[in-house]
């Protein structure tokens, strides 16, 4: 595969000249204005930090000639979303002392803090490090937070599988000591002898981000086909336990570049446990060498696969792997499990899954006080907390003697049980969008409750209020809430309009189709109404909306 590229982007130059992600960050974070330079903004992403401003007051401040309300978002990488009680309490404390008073759970099982001022970045990083957490590598052109189905952590009898997300995150985290020098403990880190950076990263790291997910062999709660690389536990008839590896997925697009698109991953090979890391390294090296460093909007690995062809990409991986690739073991994933409600785990302990609307953990006056409930549970009980790829949280490893006490805490803090949730609300996802995300074209999180209520109303009116409908909403086409594989995907187009995608599926193995463009948000329920009516009349027994839409090719 031979590719001709134009001149590399400015971002490539920034990475190459950064002295392995150091740049001028140390000086800029120490003094000066409340923001950082453009070059430092790019480097901060590798440290898990996005420079933002409060867009609700941007115009007002600009017209008044005032400085914008500069803030930062910090994303904490939580491999597999797994946290101890002590770690959750540390995150809770940071949310009050340094951030905006909320904790946000992401679709990649990470935690985000919003509204942080520049002077709070170092104290926040130091607090995380005390509890063996970090934001380093949660963003940037590296392997991002590895996601895994929570059942593989809490219900697997294979310790290797339980630890897989943490092991991958450890192996593929950049080796540079820049983060610890700048944010945590400069003197100590500066005296350490730094190891050479990973060969698969090199001096300029990857062309763009790289996402890995580990799916349950029976269901697809992590949307494994939407990842750059996915691992699905499988059994080879000769080699025994291992993984089917899928590659080349990704959902982000750009309205400014018609040559961008969503793509689902293809099966690449089967590997044993001992072969996983070597195969991932070979895929990363292939992406490092062949990814487009001249157009960031087309720098994702899915375009390498799509442009050169999957067979050619597979040969390139095999060459770097140093061995022929086996055929993948066939996998048949079922509908995604939301892991909500009370369940008994295989070891006899209990788990309760709690719905977190748009992933925002907070206390609501005269309403649900989820943050306080989780704080008390973490203080009083030795449990494991798990963030899911659906932006929810599981309290796991609950002993039989503690179950009633935890349930009582949830009830007294008005935390809603799954029986109280509408089936649209139960699985709805949204990205933060306005007012903090600089990429947002329209609202998402703040408007999600309203659109969910309206769509649930249409479901109720059509007599289907007890059927599941998967709805996901984003403020732009980058796809952080994965609308491109949803049954109903709502994607911000302009400040007041959205594109409507339909027909993705609960298995995550089918892309949604663009149904109508530039709709007002309040128009969407009426557009869905006749489709829901047809689903009731023409749908097969137990047929999901996404499957129905594709079967009848609704026009």
Residue-level pLDDT at 226: 98
Specify the DSSP element, H or E, that contains 241.
strand 240-247
In tens, the pLDDT along 147-166 reads 999 999 999 999 999 999 99
Q: Are residues 407 and 429 in the same domain?
A: no
Q: Is residue 17 part of a domain?
A: yes
Per the CB < 8 A criterion, the answer to whether 508 and 286 are in contact is no
pLDDT at 547: 97
pLDDT, mean of each 10-residue run, the chain (555 residues): 74 97 96 94 98 96 96 98 98 94 98 97 95 97 98 96 97 96 74 82 97 97 98 97 98 95 98 98 98 97 98 98 98 96 98 98 96 98 98 98 98 97 97 97 98 97 94 97 98 97 97 98 97 95 96 78
Residue 2 lies in a domain: no
Residues 348 and 431 in one domain: no
Residue 43 domain boundaries:
10-321
Within this chain, do residues 202 and 119 fall inside the same structural domain, yes or no? yes
| DSSP type of residue 218 | S
Where a domain ends, among 321, 350, 378?
Answer: 321
Whole-angstrom distance, CA of residue 321 vs CA of residue 272: 14
- In this structure, the answer to whether residues 367 and 471 fall within a common structural domain is no
Q: Is residue 336 part of a domain?
A: no
Report the CATH number that the domain containing residue 238 is assigned in CATH. Answer: 3.30.413.10
- DSSP assignment of 410-451, as one string? HHHTTPPPGGGS-TTGGG-EE---TTT-TT-SS--TTTHHHH
> CA 389, CA 429: separation in Å to the nearest integer?
10
Q: Give the C-alpha separation, 77 to 175, whole Å.
A: 16
Last residue of a domain, one of 373, 398, 420: 420
CA–CA dist 311, 279 (Å, integer): 16
Are both 71 and 167 inside the same structural domain? yes
Asked whether residue 113 falls in the same domain as residue 214, the answer is: yes
Does some domain include residue 327? no
> What single string gives the DSSP state of each residue in 87-153?
HHHHHHHHHHHTSSS-EEE-TTS-EEEEEE-GGGHHHHHHHHHHTT-B-TTSSSSSB-PPEE-HHHH
Last residue of a domain, one of 387, 404, 420: 420
CA distance 323 to 471: 43
Residues 137, 170 within the same domain: yes
At 195 the pLDDT is 86
Domains contained in the chain, number = 3
Omega cis (within 30) before 435: yes
Tokens of 169: 């995150």
Distance CA 169, CA 82 (A): 13
Considering the entire predicted model, what is its pTM?
Answer: 0.96
HSE, CB side, 13 Å, CA atoms: give it for residue 277: 13
Asked whether residue 300 is domain-assigned, the answer is yes
Dump pLDDT digits (tens) for 439-484.
Answer: 999 999 999 999 999 999 999 999 999 999 999 999 999 999 999 9
Does 413 lie in the same domain as 490?
A: no
The H or E element that residue 105 is part of is: strand 103-105
| Same domain membership, residue 493 and residue 405 | no
């Amino acid at each position: 595969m031979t590719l001709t590229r134009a001149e590399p982007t400015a971002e490539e130059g920034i990475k190459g000249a950064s002295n392995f992600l150091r740049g001028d960050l140390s000086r800029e974070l120490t003094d000066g204005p409340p923001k950082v330079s453009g070059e430092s903004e790019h480097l901060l992403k590798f440290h898990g930090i996005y420079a933002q401003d409060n867009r609700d007051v941007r115009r007002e401040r600009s017209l008044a000639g005032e400085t914008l309300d500069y803030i930062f978002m910090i994303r904490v990488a939580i491999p597999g979303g797994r946290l101890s009680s002590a770690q959750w309490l540390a995150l809770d404390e940071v949310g009050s002392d340094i951030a905006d008073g909320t904790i946000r759970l992401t679709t990649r099982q990470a935690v985000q803090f919003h509204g942080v001022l520049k002077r709070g970045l170092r104290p926040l990083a130091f607090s995380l490090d005390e509890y063996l957490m970090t934001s380093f590598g949660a963003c940037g052109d590296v392997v991002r937070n590895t996601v895994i189905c929570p059942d593989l952590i809490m219900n697997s009898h294979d310790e290797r599988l339980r630890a897989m997300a943490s092991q991958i995150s450890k192996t593929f985290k950049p080796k540079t000591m820049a983060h610890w020098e700048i944010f945590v403990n400069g003197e100590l880190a500066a005296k350490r002898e730094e190891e050479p950076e990973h060969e698969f990263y090199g001096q300029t790291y990857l062309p763009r981000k790289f996402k890995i997910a580990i799916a349950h062999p029976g269901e697809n709660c992590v949307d494994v086909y939407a990842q750059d690389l996915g691992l699905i536990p499988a059994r080879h008839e000769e080699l025994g336990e291992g993984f089917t590896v899928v590659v080349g997925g990704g959902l982000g697009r750009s309205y400014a570049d018609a040559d961008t698109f969503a793509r689902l991953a293809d099966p690449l090979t089967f590997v044993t446990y001992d072969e996983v890391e070597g195969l991932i390294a070979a895929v990363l090296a292939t992406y490092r060498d062949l990814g487009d460093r001249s157009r960031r909007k087309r720098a994702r690995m899915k375009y390498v696969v799509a442009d050169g062809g999957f067979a050619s990409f597979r040969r390139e991986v095999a060459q770097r792997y140093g061995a022929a690739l086996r055929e993948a073991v066939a996998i048949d994933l079922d509908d995604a499990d939301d892991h909500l409600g009370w369940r008994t785990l295989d070891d006899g302990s209990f788990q309760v899954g709690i719905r977190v609307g748009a992933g925002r953990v907070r206390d609501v006056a005269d309403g649900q006080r989820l943050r306080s409930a989780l704080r008390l549970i973490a203080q009083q009980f030795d449990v494991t907390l798990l963030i899911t790829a659906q932006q929810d949280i599981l309290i796991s490893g609950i002993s039989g003697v503690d179950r009633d006490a935890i349930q009582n805490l949830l009830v007294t803090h008005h935390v809603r049980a799954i029986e109280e949730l509408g089936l649209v609300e139960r699985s709805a996802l949204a990205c933060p969008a306005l007012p903090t995300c600089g990429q947002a074209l329209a609202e998402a999180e703040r408007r999600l409750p309203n659109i969910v209520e309206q769509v649930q109303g249409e479901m109720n009116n059509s007599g289907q209020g007890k059927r599941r409908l998967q709805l996901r909403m984003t403020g732009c086409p980058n796809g952080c809430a994965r609308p491109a594989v949803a049954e109903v995907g709502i994607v911000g187009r302009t400040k007041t309009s959205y594109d409507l995608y339909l027909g993705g599926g609960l298995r995550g193995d089918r892309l949604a189709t663009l149904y109508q463009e530039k709709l007002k948000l309040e128009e969407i329920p009426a557009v869905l109404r006749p489709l829901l009516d047809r689903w009731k009349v023409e749908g097969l027994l137990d047929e999901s909306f996404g499957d129905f839409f594709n079967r009848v090719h609704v026009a």
